[in-house]
Structure formats: structure tokens, C-alpha cells
Structure 1
Amino acid sequence: MSRAEDENDGQATERVVIRDRRKINPNGKVAGESVSDAKEAKAKESKRSGGAHRAADPEDGAEVTPTEKPASAPTPAPAPAATPAAPKPPAPALGAELEALRTDLEERTLDLQRVTAEYANYRKRVDRDRGTAAEQTTGAVLSALLPVLDDIDRAREHDDLKGPFATVAETLTAATGKFGLVAFGEKGDPFDPTRHEAVAHLTSPDVKEPTCVEVMRRGYTLGERLLRPALVAVADPE
């Protein structure tokens, strides 16, 4: 240590000289100084300088943190609503296939209608034929019984229909009536060539039109079918 004079008061003062034998590295660190001491020194220097940012320590890799709040980012505008795409027209191949299917469907529908109509007509024809066949069979059986009915009528005219024979006659007449057998031909009926068979003709002042004046054999019908005409004598007006 050395002594020097003070310029102000002219008194001799003692000057303190500090000799630091530590070396300073190129990166700004003093040899022998710990890392924590260097960080504290830099933090104090940053506070004194009042800078807007905190310096990052190259040793610890800290990032620079701004002291002021960053400006808020602008709000992005909403994306416009997507417009629905217009339907694409069908391809020519698809349209042709659709037309072919429609034509095929119409043809199948016409075929089905035709088959349905044919089946309905077939059922009607079968029912009609079945009824005709049944009527013909019944007519054939009843035609075989007509002579028996004629004998019953003659016995009734001569008042011979008595006792058990009368009961059998009534039962047979009722049974044939259930099958639809109807007798016709009475005295005084107008003459009908489609239902009567004339075996005799005469004139009479008592009639104004051809009239059956005598019935030799009654006729029979089965439903609308003429099973047998009646044999009659016809009187014509004078």
C-alpha cells in the first residue's frame, strides 16, 4: 500500500489498492467464481439497468421473457358455411338401366294382370261347368223317375191313391221337389209351344186364345231347364 495527498484538504490519505489475481474468461465469467454468483450478479445488473427484458443466461438456457403483456392476437373470422353441392345428374348408363328396369316392370305387371284375369275366368267357367254337370246328372235321375210320377198322377185322378201307397207317393213327390223338380200343365193354362206339346186341336166359343182344355201328361222343369213338355189338347177360338 502507498500514501497520496488529498487535493482538497492537502492532507495525506492512504490509498487502498486491491490486487485480484483471478483471470476473466472470454465469456465474461471470472475464474474461480461460481455459477450461482454469476447469475446473481447478472440479475442485479438487470434490475439496475431497468431493461424491458430479462437477459437469458447462456449457461442455463433460459429464454427471454418479455416484461410487458403481448398484444392479444386478432380473433379469426368464422369460416363461411359450406354450400351443399348440387346433385349430379345420373350417368347415361344408369339412366338407360333405370329405363330398362321400368319397362321390364310394366311388362311383368301386365303379365300378372292377364294371368289373374285368365284365372278368374277359368274359375267361373269351372264353377259353371260343375253346376251344369250336377244339374245334368240330377236331371237324368229325375227323368228316370218321371214315369213313376205319371202313375201316381193317374192313380190320384181315379182316387186310387190310398193307404201306404199314398204315403210312398207323397214321400217321393217331396223328395223330387227338394232337387228342384217342378210340375206344370193344368186345364185352362194358355198354350205355350215352348212348354206344351199339342196332341189335339179343336175350336170352342168359350176361349179367346189357344188354351189347354185337357192335360194327358204333365210336364216338368228342373230349375230353368225344361225336363219334359206337357201333353195337352188345345182349343182355339172360333
Structure 2
Amino acid sequence: MTGSGPQSTELQQLRRLVEERTADLQRVKAEYDNYRKQVRRDRMAVREIAVANVLRALLPVLDAVDRACAHEPLTPGLKDIADSLQDELGSLGVTSFGEVGDPFDPACHDALTYHVCDRDRLVCSTVLRSGYRLGEHLLRPATVEVTGPAPPRGTCAEATHPPVARR
């Protein structure tokens, strides 16, 4: 029987075609899965940026409430508003930072003035405005006055900064 030869060749071609189509389908499925994961990551990034922008816009309101709470006598309604605002921001992951005595970190502090003293390192001597973070992301740096040792003679700092008063 000579008919088995062409059938065998046709069967092999069909098997090869099925294997190729299966491989193509697996590749497309993997690409689609990767696409879905990327879209999910992109959506999360856009959401985080949007939340950070809204929170950044609310920081002046928080500053105004904090300034109002600093004056006595504090009305119960204002205290409730301040507490509620702090609680809600905290539930979103917003934390404040910037305390007197904190080591100065230029990555998260804006220094407005520098005072020379006998300390061996730079510290925040006055906090003019609190800084805020959303998780690990900086929303706003703390604005501070810095106290620390005099810059070494002959450094770039001496050339670019006028002499400062000793405290």
C-alpha cells in the first residue's frame, strides 16, 4: 500500500501546525498577562500620584488649623476638626516630621538660616513649618533653622555663604 506515505506526511504537517499554533497562543497569553500586570502597576502609580497631589494641596489647610490650635483658648469645635483631620490623614499614611533637635538632613529639610555653635553636627534648632510624608514619599520638606559647627576654612561653603553670627 502506497497510500500511507502521503497520509503520514499530511499528519506530520498537521501536528507541526498544531504545535506552532499552540506555541503562538502561549506567547500571546504570556504577553497579555504581562500587559495586564503593567496596566495594574500603572494604575496604582497614577492613583498614588493623584492622592499625593490632593494631600499636598491640603497641607496649607493643615498648617492653618495647627496655627489656630496653637492659640488659647482652644474651642472644642476647632479641636474636633483638628483631631479629625489628623486622624484621616494618618489613616491615609500621612506622617509629619521635623522636631527641634533632629539631625539636619538636606533630603527632607529646607534650611532657612544657619547659626554657628559648639555642636559637632548639624541639628534643627527651630522648626518653622512641619514636613510631611506619604509612606516613604516626601510630600513637603520641613522648613527649619539649623545650628552646627562653623564650616572649615577654605571650603566652598565659606566662599558661597556670608559669615554667620555665633549663637
TM-score relative to the length of structure 2: 0.77
- 2:17 is matched with 104
Change (3 A) 1:114 1:182: same
**1:120 equivalent in structure 2:** 33
CA contact (8 A) 2:66 2:82 kept: no
Q: Aligned AA for 1:104?
A: L
Residue equivalent to 1:232 = 144
User: Is the Cα contact below 8 Å between 2:69 and 2:78 reproduced in 1?
Assistant: no
Quote the offset at 1:216 in angstroms. Answer: 0.8
Range with greater deviation from structure 2 (153-162 or 99-108): 153-162
Q: Does 1:181 align with 2:101?
A: no
Query: Following TM superposition, by how much is the alpha carbon of 1:160 offset from its aligned partner in structure 2, in angstroms?
Result: 5.1
Higher mean alpha-carbon deviation, 157-166 vs 197-206, is at 157-166
Structure 2, unmatched stretches of 5+, are 151-167
Closer, same or farther: CA 106–224 of 1 in aligned 2, 3 Å: farther
CA distance in 2 between counterparts of 1:203 and 1:97 reads 90
| Structure 2: distance between partners of 1:191 and 1:90 | 89
1:216 maps to a residue whose letter is L
Query: Counterpart of 1:219?
Result: 131
State the 1:227 CA deviation: 1.2
Mapped partners of 2:99, 2:144: distance in 1 = 9
| Matched residue SS, 2:132 | strand
Runs in 1 of length 4+ with deviation above 6 angstroms? none
Could you tell me which amino acid in structure 2 is paired with residue 116 of structure 1? K
1:172 aligns with: 85
Equivalent residue runs for 1:69-218 within 5 Å: 91-159=4-72, 161-206=74-119, 208-218=120-130
* Cα distance, 1:133–1:160 mapped onto 2, change above 3 Å: farther
Provide the secondary structure at the position in 1 that maps to 2:133: strand
Higher helix share: 2
How many residues are paired up? 150
The alpha carbon displacement at 1:156 in A equals: 4.1
Q: CA RMSD in A?
A: 2.3
Alignment partner of 1:186: what SS? coil
Greater relative contact order structure (CA < 8 Å, 6+ sep):
2
Deviation at 1:182, TM superposition (A): 1.4
* Larger Rg belongs to: 1
* CA distance in structure 1 between the aligned counterparts of 2:74 and 2:28, rounded to whole angstroms: 60
Counterpart of 1:150 in 2: which secondary structure? helix
